[in-house]
Amino acid sequence: MAGRTSSGTGCLASGRRARFVLLALLALPLTLPAQGPAGPQQTPQPFIQYSRTSAQPVIEYTLVHSLLVNNDPVPLLRVYGDGRVVVHRPVYMKNAGDFEMQLSPAELDGLLQSLAADGIMDFDAATARQERQQLVAQQRASTGMLYEVSDSTDTLITVRLASFRSTPAAPLQNNLQQQLRWDNLDLDARRFPASNRLVRAATGAQRLHDLTRHPALRRLP
C-alpha cells in the first residue's frame, strides 16, 4: 500500500503503536475495575486504519436512479485519505458542478468512526435482505396489504480501509473494501423502523449525503 497509514481512532502512526493500544484496550477490563452503575458506559470504538494519501478515495458515495437513462457515472462524493472531499453534483441536480473541501485528520477519523457506528463497514446485505423480507411478511400479515415502490434509487457506498476491526473481539480485516448497495435505502428505513440495520445504514448514507451539501464546499473552476 502506498503512503503512510494511520488509525482513525487514535491517530496511531505505526502498527507497533496500534498493537500497543489494542493490547491495552483488551487488557482494560482485566486491569481496570468495573465502573459503578452511576458511571458512563464505555463503548470501545472500532479500530480503523486507512491510507492518508490522496491516491484512492477512502469513501465513495453515489446514487443511481432507475428513472434516469443517463446516470452520471462520476461518484457524488469522494473522500480521500488526506482529508480532501470532492463532490460532483451532476447536471440533473441542483447547484450542479464540482466542489471541494478539506477535512482535518480528526474530522475524517470522526466521519469513519460514525460510519462504522452506522454499521456501514460491516453491513451484510444478505442478512439485511432476509430481515427485510421478514418485515415485509409481517407487515402484510398485519395489514393484508401488498406494497410496491415504483422507481428505485440505489445507494452505493464504498469504504476502503487498510485495517478494520469493529469490536475488540472481532477479527481484524485487512484491505477492507466494503461496498454497500441498497435500493430505496431511506424509504426502507422509514418503512421498517424496527430494522436497526437499515435505519443505521440510512443514517450513514444521509451523513454522506449531507456532506455533499456542506457549506464549506467550494466550487472548482
Q: Which of 45, 155, 158, 166 binds other proteins (CB under 8 A)?
A: 155
Compare residues 54 and 71 and give the one whose CB is closer to other proteins: 71
- Of 35-43, 50-58, 87-95, 111-119, the segment contacting other proteins by CB under 8 A is 87-95
Site string for other proteins, 38-67 (x = CB under 8 A): -------------------------xxxxx
Is residue 60 within 8 A of residue 49, CB to CB? The reply is: no
**Which of helix, strand or coil describes residue 22?**
helix
Q: In angstroms, give the least distance from the CB of 95 to other proteins.
A: 9
CB atoms within 10 A of CB 177: 10
Q: Which of 31, 41, 43, 70 binds other proteins (CB under 8 A)?
A: 70
178 lines the binding site for other proteins (CB under 8 A):
no
87's grid cell:
463532490
CA distance 88 to 197: 28
74 lines the binding site for other proteins (CB under 8 A):
no
136 lines the binding site for other proteins (CB under 8 A):
yes
183 lines the binding site for other proteins (CB under 8 A):
yes
92 lines the binding site for other proteins (CB under 8 A):
yes
**CA angle 215-49-23, nearest 5°?**
130
User: Residue 164: which residues within 8 A CB-CB, separation 6 or more?
Assistant: 46, 47, 48, 49, 116, 121, 172, 173, 176
32 lines the binding site for other proteins (CB under 8 A):
no
CA distance 182 to 153: 8
The helix or strand, by DSSP H or E, that contains position 61, with its residue range, turns out to be strand 57-65
Which residues would be at the binding site for other proteins (CB under 8 A)? 63-71, 91-94, 96, 133, 136-137, 140-141, 143-156, 181, 183-187, 205-206, 209, 213
